[in-house]
Chain A
Amino acid sequence: MNAPAQAAQLTPQKFKSDVKPVWCPGCGDYTVLSSITKALAALAVRPENVAVVSGIGCSSRIPAYTTCYGFHGVHGRALAAATGLKVARPDLTVIAAGGDGDGYSIGGNHFLHACRRNVDLTYIVMDNRVYGMTKGQPSPTTEPDWDSKLSPQGTGLREFHPLVIALASGANFIARATSSDPNGTAELIVQAVRHPGFSFIEVLSPCVTFRPEQRTWKDRVHPAPVAPTDDPGRAARRLMTDDGFNIGVLYAGHRKPYRTEQSATPSSVAELEAEFIL
């Protein structure tokens, strides 16, 4: 598991950097930042033992706002970088984060294979069903009939169901959270980090600028009426009747994470080079 070294507990504030977020006031991503810092405090880890890795997008700015190690990478490649990092440094708590565009469009293929590989890290997607940073294009989770200047009469394309894809691809922990409940989201992040293998949390995080109607999500979300299951078949059946607003853990499986044993870090450049000799 993402076993964080136990240490004297820090306050959530200690995980917040001095960089002030430039998100729009009301953006759900503020809450996700706050939930991550609360979760890290609750996990009693230290910022220097945590890496937050992201792609590109409004949501992907998140590493800069924490005091953890951060990697604000290339669009869609958060999971590639995070996977490499975790495999090289299994002692770190690795959190990958980004948006639905980053994770499901350009990064969609990485998403499938990260679920399949089951490397022990946590992936948080701030899903606002739109490309916020580039001013409001539809994303894979956008409703087919979302009529906007950039998609007149909607795309007509069936939306992608992240939880279904995650389950089918082998993610070991799958949950949905909402930015309207910072503490509930923090608790889910704690559980996800503690759970061995690839943990995926889809956070409903409104884009108040390009999808102002998402402000009403807070009234639509509700706790999932059932306990988490470790049976993928049962989880799949539950998803068939999912209204998209069930909040909680859907699935917590027992699949062995990829390379759980500690891999020795090369101690010299020569040793590192030797690994690349064919």
Chain B
Amino acid sequence: MSSRKKPARGTAKPVPKKRTSRPAPKRAAKPAAPRSGAYADFMVQAYAMENDARDRYTEFADQMEVHNNTAVAQLFRKLARIEGLHATRIVREMGWRKPPAAAEAWMWRQSEAPESVPPGELHYLMQPWHALELALACEQRAVRFFTGISGSTAPADVKRIAREMAAEEREHVQLIREWMKKVEKPDPGWDRDPDPSLYSE
């Protein structure tokens, strides 16, 4: 097992705040037109997606903490908190008293939840820029996911909310791009370890 303790570099700069509580979306203000059953199903899925992303970022933050890469750990913790807030917002907007049981049991049949970083992408020497790069790819996948639904044959209310969500995810893409400009871009060879774990004579 390798559990090398290396502080991450290039982390001190302040980063722009990714908005965690957006202005109340238009959809919340609209008088409730009768919603299709598919709408509730879709929101359960959206909730599950945010939750999944939060859990994955939390796991990653734990991994980085164990390996003393505190800068990246903090960044993942922050991203987890943001995804958690999104999940809570869905609960509030849907008027659920507690998260729906169906969401807890949700399994993404075909693949991973679009907004979750694929497992196995971490490196113990990774830097905040890498973490943001992973987050950026997630937000881009989420844009594609919601755009796909907004252009599908789903009921009109589902398509409308999917369009709004796609727009929000596009905003996140922009925010993360801004954030990436503020952190140091890793040098080539960032993963070179002067004291490698491989046995050598």
B partners with A:
yes
Q: How far apart sit A180 and B116, CA to CA, in the bound complex (Å)? A: 12
> Which one of B20-28, B38-46, B120-128 is at the interface?
B120-128
B121 touches A26 (CB 8 A): yes
A contact residues around B60 at 8 Å (CB): 25
| A41-B105, A179-B120 known; A20-B111 Cβ under 8 A | no
Flag whether B153 is at the interface (Cβ < 8 A).
no
Flag whether A108 is at the interface (Cβ < 8 A).
no
Please count how many residues in chain B sit with their CB below 8 Å of the partner chain's CB atoms.
Answer: 34
Flag whether B93 is at the interface (Cβ < 8 A).
no
A26 touches B122 (CB 8 A): yes
B119 touches A179 (CB 8 A): yes
Sorted nearest first, the 7 A-B pairs with minimum C-beta distance are: A25-B122, A31-B119, A26-B122, A209-B2, A25-B63, A183-B107, A11-B104
Chain A to chain B contacts (Cβ below 8 Å), 26 pairs: A9-B101, A22-B1, A22-B66, A23-B1, A24-B124, A25-B60, A25-B64, A25-B67, A25-B69, A25-B123, A25-B124, A26-B123, A28-B119, A42-B107, A58-B1, A149-B198, A149-B200, A150-B199, A179-B119, A181-B112, A183-B107, A183-B108, A186-B107, A187-B107, A209-B197, A210-B197
Q: How far apart sit A150 and B199, CA to CA, in the bound complex (Å)? A: 7
B198 touches A24 (CB 8 A): no
Closest Cβ of chain B to A35, distance in Å, is: 10
A34 touches B63 (CB 8 A): no
A38 touches B120 (CB 8 A): no
Q: B198's contact among A28, A206, A210, by CB below 8 Å, is which?
A: A210
Q: B197's contact among A26, A30, A135, by CB below 8 Å, is which?
A: A135
B contact residues around A41 at 8 Å (CB): 104-105
Do most interface residues of chain A lie in helix, strand or loop, or is the interface mixed?
loop
| A38-B107, A187-B107 known; A24-B1 Cβ under 8 A | yes
| Residue among A22, A26, A148, A181 with the highest chain B CB neighbour number at 10 A | A26
B contact residues around A4 at 8 Å (CB): none
B contact residues around A149 at 8 Å (CB): 198-201
Q: Which residue of A lies closest to B125 (CB)?
A: A25
Residues 46-74 of B, flagged 1 when their CB comes within 8 A of A and 0 if not, give: 00000000010001101111110100000
Residues 127-161 of B, flagged 1 when their CB comes within 8 A of A and 0 if not, give: 00000000000000000000000000000000000
Q: A135's contact among B118, B120, B121, B199, by CB below 8 Å, is which?
A: B199
A contact residues around B120 at 8 Å (CB): 26-28, 30-31, 179-180, 206, 208, 215, 218
Q: How far apart sit A41 and B55, CA to CA, in the bound complex (Å)? A: 15
Residues 27-63 of A, flagged 1 when their CB comes within 8 A of B and 0 if not, give: 1101100100010011000000000000000100000
Flag whether A21 is at the interface (Cβ < 8 A).
yes
B119 touches A30 (CB 8 A): yes
Closest Cβ of chain A to B2, distance in Å, is: 4
Flag whether A228 is at the interface (Cβ < 8 A).
no
Closest Cβ of chain B to A60, distance in Å, is: 11
Flag whether A136 is at the interface (Cβ < 8 A).
yes
Q: How far apart sit A181 and B120, CA to CA, in the bound complex (Å)? A: 10
Closest Cβ of chain A to B63, distance in Å, is: 5
Segment 89-135 of A: residues with Cβ below 8 Å from B: 132-133, 135
Residues 134-172 of A, flagged 1 when their CB comes within 8 A of B and 0 if not, give: 011000000000001110000000000000000000000
Q: How far apart sit A28 and B118, CA to CA, in the bound complex (Å)? A: 11
A contact residues around B2 at 8 Å (CB): 24, 209
Q: A218's contact among B104, B107, B118, by CB below 8 Å, is which?
A: B118
Q: B112's contact among A26, A27, A132, A182, by CB below 8 Å, is which?
A: A182
Closest Cβ of chain B to A151, distance in Å, is: 11
| Residue among B105, B120, B126 with the highest chain A CB neighbour number at 10 A | B120
Q: How far apart sit A209 and B195, CA to CA, in the bound complex (Å)? A: 13
Segment 218-238 of A: residues with Cβ below 8 Å from B: 218
Given contacts A31-B119, A38-B107, A135-B197, 7 further A-B contacts (CB under 8 A): A24-B3, A25-B124, A26-B121, A30-B120, A135-B198, A136-B198, A187-B107
B contact residues around A135 at 8 Å (CB): 197-199
B67 touches A34 (CB 8 A): no
